[in-house]
Amino acid sequence: MPLNARMDAVGDYPFDRLRALLGALEPPTGVTPIPLSLGEPQHAPPAFLAETVARETAGWSKYPPMRGTEPARAAIAGWLTRRYGLPENMVDPETMVIPVSGTREALFMIALAAVPETKNGRKPVVLMPNPFYQVYLGAAVMAGAEPVFVPADSENGFLPDFASLPEDILERTALAYYCSPANPQGAIAPMETMKTLVNLARQHDFLLISDECYSELYYGAPPTGGAEACAALGDDGPGAMRNVVVMNSLSKRSSAPGLRSGFVAGDANLIKRFSRLRDYGGAPPPLPLLAAASALWSDEEHVVANRVLYAEKYVVAEEILGGKYGYYSPAGGFYLWLAVGDGEAAARALWGDAGVRVIPGEYLAREADGHHPGAGYIRLALVHDLETTRDALTRITKVL
């Protein structure tokens, strides 16, 4: 049966590659396995999440509206406005916000709404950092674009420099994914960089997607966001956030990856098109879950507490790993990006000898122009409690 050959260009997802790498290898007997491979927060979400869902039973008998509800859109616009100090009327909840069932689907699907057949008469390009969240690649390829991997390594502070790309690439760029705080390196883009990106998107008429799901996990100043950069460039009222959408999620901020809840906000024209696409193939958040999401966006207390838990783990990580494997304490996010030499060998040894599951950095990046920015690294997700994290990191130093 002939099938969509674009799938072949995407290749296996990193966790499938990890399963294949580890194969029949088992952790040592008697050792409790600790998975640090997946960025799946294990802190408890606030109790009002489940309480809200339990209360909103009427919503189970309704198809949820594709655009979410008015209170949910208002809660999201309110959060964005407070968090980034935006002008009061900049984010219109009715035309600029859509709640989504997690940002993974939205990051993927938006490319189908945004990438044209051709850009300036040629094959369109989708820019992404390298290493990167793998959904960007799937989206670019399935939308029929050429993915362009822009290195984000220690030489450039782990931030990709889209502005320095050749004119030939920028002319063909239809969409650019940017991630700050970055997964996996935890780098945070300063305001100047975010403004440059917005200007670049407008100058070359492409869509900038600012993936901000780690925005609330920071250990110094709060990260700048795409909406904040638009405001700093003078955006306000109708027409705000032209060429820009931001995405954020409750998976990391509220430790609720199972809720599958996030949002897309920005350029009203794009939101309208995205909304039409979702009419045909979207899965809007169920109403009881959307009510819980609205409550979570309206509360900061649990987010502050969550951030403290991560900060404590970085203190312990520094104690155990400081001075080893290029250790640095990231500005944001919840990962460690360690330079171990051979990432695959390290992942096998850590699983087989210590029961700690990590992912080789190689699987999170692609070789481009003879350079592989993920080679030699492993990524660790510090998603467990403090004691489990301490145990895992101690085991790691013993094996490596």
**8 A C-beta contact, residue 95 and residue 274:** no
The amino acid occupying position 28 is P
Among 72, 174, 213, 350, binds ligand PLP (CB under 6 A): 213
- In the complex with ligand PLP, the residue whose CB is nearer, 185 or 249, is 249
CA 372 to chain centre: 21
The amino acid occupying position 250 is L
Does 103 engage in binding with ligand PLP (CB under 6 A)?
Answer: yes
CA distances from 6 to 104, 113, 149, 161, 354 (A): 19, 17, 18, 27, 38
Task: Report which DSSP code applies to 218.
Answer: B
**CB 118, min distance to ligand PLP, A:** 28
**CB 359, min distance to ligand PLP, A:** 12
Among 37, 249, 255, 389, binds ligand PLP (CB under 6 A): 249
Does 257 engage in binding with ligand PLP (CB under 6 A)?
Answer: yes
- In the complex with ligand PLP, the residue whose CB is nearer, 138 or 262, is 262
**CB 211, min distance to ligand PLP, A:** 5
Count of CB atoms situated within 10 Å of the CB of 92? 17
Pairing of strands 356-357, 97-100: unpaired
| Distance of alpha carbon 177 from alpha carbon 292, whole angstroms | 28
Does 181 engage in binding with ligand PLP (CB under 6 A)?
Answer: no
Does 138 engage in binding with ligand PLP (CB under 6 A)?
Answer: no
Burial 41-57 (b: 16+ CB within 10 A, else e): bebebbeebeebbeebe
**CB 14, min distance to ligand PLP, A:** 11
Binding to ligand PLP by CB under 6 A, coded x per residue (else -) over 262-301, reads: x---------------------------------------
Does 27 engage in binding with ligand PLP (CB under 6 A)?
Answer: no
Does 251 engage in binding with ligand PLP (CB under 6 A)?
Answer: yes
Q: Which tokens belong to 111?
A: 């490319």
Q: Which tokens belong to 142?
A: 């399935």
- In the complex with ligand PLP, the residue whose CB is nearer, 133 or 218, is 133
Pairing of strands 173-179, 125-130: parallel
Tell me, by CB under 6 A, how many residues bind ligand PLP.
14
- In the complex with ligand PLP, the residue whose CB is nearer, 23 or 281, is 281
**CB 285, min distance to ligand PLP, A:** 11
| Dihedral angle, C-alpha 278, 280, 286, 292, nearest 10 ° | 0
Pairing of strands 34-35, 356-357: parallel
**CB 307, min distance to ligand PLP, A:** 17
Does 39 engage in binding with ligand PLP (CB under 6 A)?
Answer: yes
Binding site for ligand PLP (CB under 6 A): 39, 102-104, 107, 133, 179, 183, 211, 213, 249, 251, 257, 262
